[in-house]
A and B are shown apart, each in its own frame.
Chain A
Amino acid sequence: MTMLKFTKDHEWIRVEGDTGTVGITDYAQQQLGDVVFVELPEVGRKLETGKEAAVVESVKAASEVYAPVAGEVVAVNDAVAGDPSLINSAAEGDGWFMRIRLANPSELDGLMDRAAYDAYVEGLA
C-alpha cells in the first residue's frame, strides 16, 4: 500500500510501510531550470519536519529541500548526485533525493494529496 503526498515547498514523499522516498516535484524542477548540483544528507541523519534536508542548484538559482516529515535518512540517491539532470528528466521518479524512516507517520495527514497539490500549483500561476 503506497501513499503519495506533497508539501507547499514542492517536495513529494512516497510512503511504503514505514519508509518514505522524497524528491522535488516536476513543477519545482521547471521553476529551477537545468539542475546542476544537489547536496544530499548523510545516511543516518535525523531530519526534523520542515527543516533543510538537501540543497538543489541550477545555474542561476539555489533552493533548499525541506523534510516533508521527520525521520532518519536510510538511503540517498547517489545516481542523482552524479547526474543531476535526472531531476529535470524524472523529478518524480528516478530523480528522488533520499529515503527516510518516518518518525511519526501521522504527520502525513497534514500534507496534500495529488489533487490538492495540483490545485495549489494552479493557484500560483
Chain B
Amino acid sequence: MNNQGRPTSIPSASGEVAPTISGNRALQIEEALIFEQDSPGSTGVDLPEPATDELRLGGLRPRGQIGLPGLAEPTVVRHYTRLSQKNYAIDLGLYPLGSCTMKHNPRLNERMARLPGFADIHPLQPQSTVQGALALIDELAGWLKTLTGMPAVAMSPAAGAQGELCGLMAIHAALDDRGEGHRRRVLVPESAHGTNPATAALVGFTIDPIPATADGRVDLAALEAKLGPDVAGIMLTNPNTCGLFERDIRRIAELIHGAGGYFYCDGANFNAIVGRVRPADLGIDAMHINLHKTFSTPHGGGGPGSGPVVLSDALAAFVPFPHVAHGPDGFRLIEGPQDPGATGKEFGRLKGFHGQMGMFVRALAYILSHGADGLWQVASDAVLNANYVMARLQDVMTPSFDGPCMHEALFDDRFLKGTGVTTLDFAKALIDEGFHPMTMYFPLVVHGALLIEPTETESKRGLDQFIDVLRGLAARARAGEAEAFQAAPRLTPRRRLDETLAARRPVLRWQPEAPQAEAAE
C-alpha cells in the first residue's frame, strides 16, 4: 500500500515569474548553437569502412580539418525539436500575413511527394523510365491552363519571383520577335510588390510608376497618359496589393494592347479568384501562379516555392527550356532547340533540370482533393473570411478603402493616431496574444499598413477569437496603454531584437573564438 501522500491543491504563491536558474521557461528551452555542442569525434551517422584506401585525386592532397561539430543523433533530434518550438506556424494558429496566403498544408500532399516514384527518380533518367513524372507535370499544367483559361504554361520557374522573370523574358522575346525591341518601358503601379520592379530591371526594362486613385485602384487616366510607342507592357497585381479587384482591368488590357504592349499579371493573389474568375477573360498575357500560396505547398520557413507562368496565345511560344510535349511514344521533355517539338522561340533556361517536381506533386494532390467545386468554394470562403474580418473591425480600426475587399482586408494606422502606438507596436502586441501579426507597412500606398489575409482554411470560431483580440487591443491603445504596446512582446522566446546592431555590425556566422569587436577594426 502506498501511504505517502503529496500536496494536490494549488499553493497560494504569487504568480510572479522569477528568473529560472537555467534560463529555460518550462517548454521554452534555451538552445545553444550546434557549434557550441561539439563533442569532437561524435557523429549521428554510422558508415561502413571505405571499400579501398586508394586515392585517385589527380595529385590533389586530401582536405584537412573542416571544423564541423560532432553530435550524436539524440542531441541532434533534441536540438532541432527545441528550435522548432521557437517558431510560429500555420499548424499552431492563424497566420494572417497579407499577400502570403498562409493556408493549411494538407499532410496527404507530403505523403504523395515522398512516394519513391516521385522522390527517388533522377532528372536525367531515360525519359521512357519517367513517364509517370512527365504525365504528372502535364496533368498539373492542364489544370493550371483550364483554371486560368490560358493556352500555355511554363512550368519550370522555381518561385514567384522567377515566374515574373519568366513572364517578362517572354514579353521581351516576343517584342524582339516582332522587331520592336526598342520597347523598354514597363508600367508598374506604386502599390506593387518589390519583386515587380526588381524583375523588370533584371530584364533590362525601365520602370515607370503609375499612381493609385483614392479608391485604391490604378489611375486609368494616368495610365493612359503614360502609354507610348516605347511601352513594353504593364505589371499589375490582381486582385491588387490593397486586396481590391481592379474594376477597370479589361479596359487596362485594351489600352495596353492598343498601345502594342503586353499585360503581365502578378498572380500572388490568385487565391481570391481561383475557380471563379479566369485571368484569360481579363485580357492577361502572362501570369505566374505561386503554387506555395494558392495551391498550398508548404512555405517551409521561406521556400522552396514554385512559380509556373500561364501564357496567352501571343506569348505561348516564348517559353524557357525544358517543356513537356506529348507524342506518339508518350511524353517527351523538350530540352533544347534540337529536340522535335521545340517552338524555336525559347529564350533559354531558368534553372537546373525541369522545375520543382516535389511542389508539382503537392499542388496536384491539393487540386485533386478540391476539384472544380472545391476550388470555387476556396475562393468564395477566402473572400468571405476577409470581408467578415473587415466588417467586424471597421468600427474600431480604419479600413483604407470602401466597398468589399477580396481575400485580404487592408487597414491603415489612422485608428492609432494620437495613441502613441505604432503599427509595429500593435502587431507585436498581437504576438503575445498568440497570433502571428498581419503584414505590416505594405502596401506602401497607405500609411502604416496592416494587411490581413485570413485564407479559407480558418474557421468562424478562430476568426472570432482573432477579431475579439484585435478589438481589445484597439481599445487598449485608445485607453492610453502605449507603454505596454511598446514593451511587447513579453512572452516570446526572445523579445524585440536589435536590428540596428545586426546591420551595423553584421555577424553572419559562428566563429570558433569570437573576436572582440575592437579587435575586428
Contact = CB atoms under 8 A, between A and B. Distances in A.
B326 to A, nearest CB: 48
B521 A85 contact: no
Contacts of B504: 34, 36-37, 84-85
A59 B521 contact: no
Interface string A32-67: 001011000000000000000000010110000000
Contacts of A60: 441, 499
A82 B500 CA distance: 14
B500 to A, nearest CB: 4
Contacts of B500: 34, 36, 59
A84 B500 CA distance: 11
Interface string B436-475: 0000010000000000000000000000000000000000
Interface string B483-506: 000000000000000011001100
Contact of B521 (A34, A36, A37, A82): A82
A82 B441 CA distance: 30
Contacts of A36: 500, 503-504
Interface size class of B (residues with CB under 8 A): under 10
Nearest to B502: A59
A85 B505 CA distance: 12
A69 to B, nearest CB: 26
Nearest to B499: A59
Contacts of B521: 82
Contacts of A37: 503-504
B210 to A, nearest CB: 22
A60 B442 CA distance: 12
Residue of A34, A37, A60, A82 ringed by the most chain B CB atoms within 10 A:
A34
B347 to A, nearest CB: 31
A37 B504 CA distance: 7
A47 to B, nearest CB: 23
A85 B521 CA distance: 16
B325 to A, nearest CB: 45
A57 B500 CA distance: 11
A60 B499 CA distance: 9
A36 B501 CA distance: 8
Contacts of B441: 60
A6 B441 CA distance: 30
Contacts of A85: 504
A11 to B, nearest CB: 23
A90 B499 CA distance: 21
Contacts of A57: 503
Contacts of A82: 521
A36 B500 CA distance: 6
A36 B441 CA distance: 20
A57 B499 CA distance: 13
A37 B500 CA distance: 10
Nearest to A59: B499
Interface in B127-154: none
A103 B441 CA distance: 42
A36 B504 CA distance: 5
A79 to B, nearest CB: 12
A36 B499 CA distance: 10
A36 to B, nearest CB: 4
A60 B448 CA distance: 14
A24 to B, nearest CB: 17
B453 to A, nearest CB: 21
Interface string A8-44: 0000000000000000000000000010110000000
A90 B259 CA distance: 51
Nearest to B521: A82
A42 B518 CA distance: 26
Contacts of A34: 500, 504
Interface of A: 34, 36-37, 57, 59-60, 82, 84-85
16 contacts: A34-B500, A34-B504, A36-B500, A36-B503, A36-B504, A37-B503, A37-B504, A57-B503, A59-B499, A59-B500, A59-B503, A60-B441, A60-B499, A82-B521, A84-B504, A85-B504
By Cβ-Cβ distance, the 8 closest A-B pairs, closest first, are: A36-B503, A34-B500, A59-B499, A36-B504, A59-B503, A59-B500, A36-B500, A84-B504
Given A34-B504, A36-B500, A37-B503, 12 more contacts: A34-B500, A36-B504, A37-B504, A57-B503, A59-B499, A59-B500, A59-B503, A60-B441, A60-B499, A82-B521, A84-B504, A85-B504
